[in-house]
Amino acid sequence: MSPRHAVFMLALAAACSADAPTQQDATVPAITPPPPPPPSDPSVAALAMEITTDKTWRSIHAGGTLTCGLDERDHAQCWKGPDEPPADVLEGGFTQLAVGTSHACGLRAGGSVECWGDGFAGALEAPQGVFRQLDAGLSHSCAIAEDGDIRCWGWNEQGQATPPDGAFERVAVGYHHTCALDADGHVSCWGADTDGQTHPPDGTFTQVGVGDCASCGLGQDGVLTCWGCEFERRHGRTDGSVPNNKPPPGDGWTSLAVGYQHACALHTDGSIACWGHNAVGQSAPPSGTYVSISAGFYHSCALRQDGVPVCWGWDALVGVDPALSAQRANDHPRGYTELPAHRLRHTCPYEGLGMLYMQQQRNEAAKRVLERGIEINPDIEYRKYLGLAQLYLAEGDEQTAVPLLRKAMEMFPGDTTAAELLAGIEGR
């Protein structure tokens, strides 16, 4: 694959959005969330009881194609998406979980780390030793040893898995960069720095969260601060698809979770506020009182005070509506939301994951995801056709790539990449 094609793939991954004010998005219908059910609807309350009476969950973690929970027995259980069977249960002894795009890691009671899922570039090869905290990102993970030393493993193309020397208290792993807190509350970051995401502001923090090209910290005064890119900064938004590009003002925030292009925070009153990309409702939390939060690639999750997990965002991961969630529950910690999950009226999530797989040169996984996006909706987002064409060209299959390139040109004639690739093929 040529460097030029690889650079274009990176641009595709960053630009994936169903509501950008560009020519190719003019035909995308506005995403209008369905109205929430009446608060007194007895069927919704009964459903929540039906799903969760047999199990209490201690934590819930949103990733990319995985959602994982830690139950009252300290068992870890994960669910894959889109449209894949549930993963196996990993039995007891876990004290912490961390979920990346398609892999997860758990910290055992004795301090050892175990990883599982879809590994890439050593993402499942956890180091030996005794650790006290860990986190997982796109395709790399990090853990803090007893002496405060950070050990990272997995994808390290941009230095995201090469931590600095020193003793740290907490580590936060993102997509292409990583940050950590020392005992004094100072933040250190390393890895990709395309938008200043590895240059934290002055001050001390109690928590730090890392996404794609942004980082956020929770100050000791309960105030939220973000640095790097503004979530979805490339697109002017007037349609409500991005509730807010910046963290909510004021103090009283107690917990922070940063996803791919959105983030959420938990307030002292138990309410949740989210900001950033909201194409599939990942930044539209339900009302209620919660004790923990997690932000993933295209969905978010939180744990209620009564141990009921609640997720919102991409329907392939959280269920289309409460009734369907009950049918698919199978002991999954899906919970329910007052705002039903968004139906997938566009295919941006599949394209986003497909482009990330292309960055990692996981071509077969990328083809499966992009083809699934075409199957769901063949008429929205030309990028899935262009991405697939590039994958087939990388394999030397021009015959399959040509109709995909023509479809991409038909959907968005303003982009010259498909035309240039097609001209190069037909000119030979």
Q: Are residues 248 and 383 in the same domain?
A: no
- Boundaries of domain holding 297: 52-328
Summarised one tens digit per residue, pLDDT across range 276-310 is 988 778 888 888 899 999 999 888 999 988 887 88
Q: What is the CATH number of the domain that holds 383?
A: 1.25.40.10
- The confidence score (pLDDT) of residue 204 equals 96
Summarised one tens digit per residue, pLDDT across range 181-201 is 999 999 999 999 999 999 999
Domain count, the chain: 2
Kindly tell me the number of DSSP H helices and DSSP E strands found in the chain: 9, 22
Structural domain ending residue among the three candidates 302, 328, 354:
328
> DSSP letters of 106-175?
EEETTS-EEEEES--TTTT-PPSS-EEEEEE-SSEEEEEETTS-EEEEE--TTSTT-PPSS--SEEEE-S
CA 198 to chain centre: 19
Q: Are residues 305 and 376 in the same domain?
A: no
Q: Which helix (H) or strand (E) holds 356?
A: helix 348-359
Q: Are residues 355 and 274 in the same domain?
A: no
145 vs 305, residue with greater confidence: 145
For residue 299, is it within any domain?
Answer: yes
Q: Kindly tell me if the per-residue pLDDT of 170 is higher than 90.
A: yes
Q: Are residues 16 and 114 in the same domain?
A: no
Distance CA(123)–CA(152), nearest Å, equals 9
- The confidence score (pLDDT) of residue 129 equals 96
Q: What is the CATH number of the domain that holds 252?
A: 2.130.10.30
> Strands of 290-295's sheet, edge to edge?
290-295, 299-304, 309-313
Q: Are residues 100 and 233 in the same domain?
A: yes
